[in-house]
A and B are shown apart, each in its own frame.
Chain A
């Protein structure tokens, strides 16, 4: 096996515990594995970021705004958005290195199952869509690739109107934009929205408010990083 990130060969030590039942081959070498930070311990109960207070400042702002209050029940994320993660997401998403997702597979599944153990039974996964132009450019939708890992039913109920790149906008720009999504078909069951990144939370809230407006009772979200 070779590390999916740095291409170093990963040497597997065979001992008596894995002699008969080999471990699932590691996708990252030890050094690269260590450079990732999982979100563990105390978190903001709304947005899922590491936090000492129950509800972080950003979330308080959202919840004090009558227009957005309660739109998103909560968000949970797997990893912190540290510098290595930034590089990895850039290669995965913008360069289009689809296979890199395998590096996170196990951790994603574990975190997802722990988080949604109670609600997963009757929820539907909805990945945040890309515009057609963007989808062609990347060759795949990263949110859909994430959703597919969970094994739960995943449905493209939203579509996106093509606008310029999110990453080029400032926070206030993004907050000011109108809803970039359109609903394709209504959902009357709870939804878990899937995306790669929770940054300000505006994208997920736009999607959530639209779903709720069309009869969806509850919207959670799950992202790779926060």
Chain B
């Protein structure tokens, strides 16, 4: 009975007790840096068989079952997958048996039932001792300073969680420097995980400048560095699937963002990647219901940064009803009220314009019709972009350099990208892809620069939705909070 009960419990709430406790003895062997805190497939260990066997023999590596078996199902220990349809059978030529493999995490190398995961149980790595790791000397605003102090306190203390609720454009990276510096001084290992590879690429040089003597590595699908052997790791959340009990400090950026929000294997991996004594900091501009509930119940310590680094309030979206919206969009035309606004009422026609649409299929036809309506003179002024667009990065870069006047986009540009001076409109803001978080993020694209800290945001819709109303409320609330503090 006891067995079934504990088995049930560990099936529903994953425990990570199967991860061997790490060896606290420290040394500076290359292996401990390279392998400590990693959960690896055989092909991810670049050692020949005799070398690996010797390490296993000396208990420096330990093998673990890769798939947990329960009477009623399975769980992949690397990605946490429990879904039946994401396991399949393979007549395996390695062991000549037919058995399970995990389909969920197969893009990172296949987890076969017949093969173990390898975990380093040798000594822990030591890192360079530093008196003052941080070379950044900029100044924080009053609000940033409050958050920075809290973050630092948590990182030193460990054993804690902290949510940092900072508006779009609050300058969150700078708020982390002080805490990370203190953690590095204490010899802690730090990971900053973010959902998007472009953010990793953007952050890496900034951290290299801020922490010039610290070993820093960037990990993302297709990154040059694959080792994950540094003290400070900046990674996409997917990369956490290769770690177990590795970090003393974990910072998870955009906790509410797709795919972290939608893919249950990422929270599973994030929890496993930290040591039991770790400090975990969550960053978000738009917390989800689940997190808001915990904030209200005061079970998740929270610090607010309600003001942008330049001190100006967030632009408040205008809701513009259009009875003919669907008719217009079905004909690949912009709403009539948009035309009126664009031609007569725009406050600053020199700004660039970001147009958000709900569906990819609308993007390119809309570009065509905006040209024929003389909103743009031609393809040198306007283009469209979507998730699977191979030229996505180039187009975004062109827009950032103000080579384009207008950009039609799907929700992929809702977050993470900063343009200095834009107005933002959403066509069919009532569509289900635009939930509250998405709309707040979209509105947050405007007014990012101190040189042009305002910007117009208009949601065109054919009927108000809760998401729109909530988004506006939450922006107003944040502005109010910012005035008060």
Number of A-B pairs whose CB atoms are under 8 Å?
42
Contact of B106 among A97, A138, A141 (CB under 8 A): A97
Q: Are A7 and B112 interface neighbours, CB within 8 A?
A: no
Q: How far is the CA of A138 from the CA of B110 in the complex (A)?
A: 9
Residue of A nearest to B88 (CB): A99
Please give the distance in Å from B91's CB to the nearest CB on chain A: 6
Task: Report which of B91, B94, B107 forms a contact with A95, defined as CB distance below 8 A.
Answer: B107
Which chain B residue has the least Cβ–Cβ distance from A95?
A: B106
Chain B residues with CB under 8 A of A97: 88, 103, 106, 110
In the bound complex, what is the Cα–Cα distance between A135 and B112 (angstroms)? 15
Interface residues of A in 86-113 (CB under 8 A from B): 91, 95-99
Say yes or no: B93 contacts A98, CB within 8 Å: no
- CB distance B92 to A91 under 8 Å? no
User: Which B residues are CB-close (under 8 A) to A7?
Assistant: 86
Q: Chain A nearest CB: distance from B85 CB in Å?
A: 5
Contact present for B93 and A141 (CB under 8 Å): yes
A68: chain B residues within 8 A (beta carbon): none
- Out of B86, B92, B107, which one reaches A140, CB within 8 Å? B92
Most chain B beta-carbon contacts within 10 A, residue among A2, A96, A136 = A96
> Residues of B contacting A2 with CB < 8 Å?
85
Minimum CB–CB distance for B360 against chain A, Å = 12
B90's closest neighbor in chain A, by CB? A98
Residues of B within 8 A of A1 (CB): 85
A130: nearest chain-B partner, CB-CB? B93
Residues on the A chain within 8 Å of B91, using CB:
98, 140
Cross-chain contact A139 with B93 (CB below 8 angstroms): yes
A140 to B97, CA, bound (A): 11
- Chain B interface category by residue count: 10 to 19
> In the complex, A138 Cα to B107 Cα: how many Å?
14
Closest B residue by C-beta to A99: B88
Q: Is the interface of B mostly helix, strand, loop or mixed?
A: mixed
Nearest-CB distance from B191 to chain A (Å)? Answer: 26
The answer on a CB contact under 8 Å between B103 and A139 is no
Q: Check B282 for interface membership: any CB of A closer than 8 A.
A: no
* Residue B460 is within 8 A (CB to CB) of chain A in the complex: no
Most-contacted residue by chain A among B90, B109, B112 (CB, 10 A): B90
CA distance A99 to B91 in the complex (A): 10
Chain B 64-88 interface mask (CB, 8 Å, partner A; 1/0): 0000000000000000000001101
Flag whether B101 is at the interface (Cβ < 8 A). yes
Selected from A91, A98, A99, A136, the residue in CB contact (under 8 A) with B94 is: A136
- Also in contact, A96 and B101, with CB within 8 A (given A7-B86, A91-B106): yes
Chain B residues near A98 (CB-CB < 8 A): 88-91, 101
Across-interface contacts of A99 in B (CB, < 8 A): 88-90, 103
Give every chain A residue within 8 A of B109 (Cβ-Cβ). Answer: 95
B41 to chain A, nearest CB (A): 12
* Nearest neighbor of A135 in chain B, beta-carbon distance: B93
Query: From residue A102, how far is it (CB to closest CB) to chain B in Å?
Result: 9
| Cα separation A147 to B109 with both chains bound (whole Å) | 25
Interface members, chain A 121-163 (any B CB < 8 Å): 135-136, 138-141
Assess whether A139 is in contact with B90, with CB atoms less than 8 Å apart: yes
Among residues of A, the one whose C-beta sits closest to the C-beta of B86 is A7
Q: Tell me, rounded to whole Å, the shortest Cβ–Cβ distance linking A88 to chain B.
A: 13
A98 to B89, CA, bound (A): 8
- With contacts A2-B85, A7-B86 taken as known, whether A95 is within 8 angstroms of B110 at the C-beta atoms is yes
| Cα A97 to Cα B91 with chains together (Å) | 12
A102: nearest chain-B partner, CB-CB: B88
Most buried by A among B91, B93, B101: B93
Interface contact A139-B94, CB-CB below 8 Å: yes
Alpha-carbon gap, A97 to B107, bound state (A) = 9
- Nearest A residue to B91 via CB reads A140
Known: A2-B85, A96-B101, A99-B103. A140 touches B110 (CB 8 A): no
Report the minimal beta-carbon distance from B358 to chain A, rounded to whole angstroms: 16
CB distance from B29 to the nearest CB of A (A): 30
A91-B106, A95-B106, A97-B106 known; A140 vs B85 contact (CB < 8 Å) = no
* Alpha-carbon gap, A98 to B92, bound state (A): 10
| Contact present for B88 and A139 (CB under 8 Å) | no
What residues on B are CB-neighbors of A96 within 8 Å? 90, 101, 106, 110
CB–CB A136/B93 < 8 A = yes
Q: Measured between alpha carbons, how far is A1 from B56 in the docked complex, in Å?
A: 42
| A residues in contact with B107, CB < 8 Å | 91, 95
Assuming A91-B106, A96-B101, A97-B103, is B92 touching A139 (CB within 8 A)? yes
User: Bound complex: CA of A91 vs CA of B101, how far in Å?
Assistant: 14
Residues of chain B contacted by A136 (CB below 8 angstroms) = 93-94
Chain A residues in 8 Å Cβ range of B86: 7
Closest chain A CB from B81 CB (angstroms)? 11
Nearest A residue to B102 by beta-carbon distance?
A: A97
Cβ-closest chain A residue relative to B92:
A139
By a CB distance below 8 angstroms, the chain B residues around A91 are 106-107
In angstroms, Cα B85 to Cα A98, docked, is 13
Proximity bits, B300-319, A CB within 8 Å = 1, else 0? 00000000000000000000
A149 to B89, CA, bound (A): 16
Known A2-B85, A98-B101; contact A140-B106, beta-carbon cutoff 8 A? no
A97 to B85, CA, bound (A): 13
Question: Could you tell me the distance between the alpha carbons of A2 and B104 in the complex, rounded to whole angstroms?
Answer: 13
With A and B bound together, what is the CA distance between A2 and B106 in angstroms? 17
Bound CA–CA A95/B112 (angstroms): 12
Interface contacts beyond A91-B106, A140-B93: sample of 5 additional A-B pairs, CB < 8 Å, sorted by A:
A2-B85, A95-B107, A96-B101, A136-B93, A141-B93
The 10 closest A-B pairs by CB, nearest first: A99-B88, A98-B90, A96-B110, A2-B85, A95-B106, A135-B93, A139-B92, A97-B106, A139-B93, A140-B93
25 CB contacts below 8 A, A to B, read: A2-B85, A7-B86, A91-B106, A95-B107, A95-B109, A95-B110, A96-B101, A96-B110, A97-B103, A98-B89, A98-B90, A98-B91, A99-B89, A99-B90, A135-B93, A136-B93, A138-B93, A139-B90, A139-B94, A139-B110, A139-B112, A140-B90, A140-B91, A140-B92, A140-B93
B residues lining the A interface (CB < 8 Å): 85-86, 88-94, 101, 103, 106-107, 109-110, 112
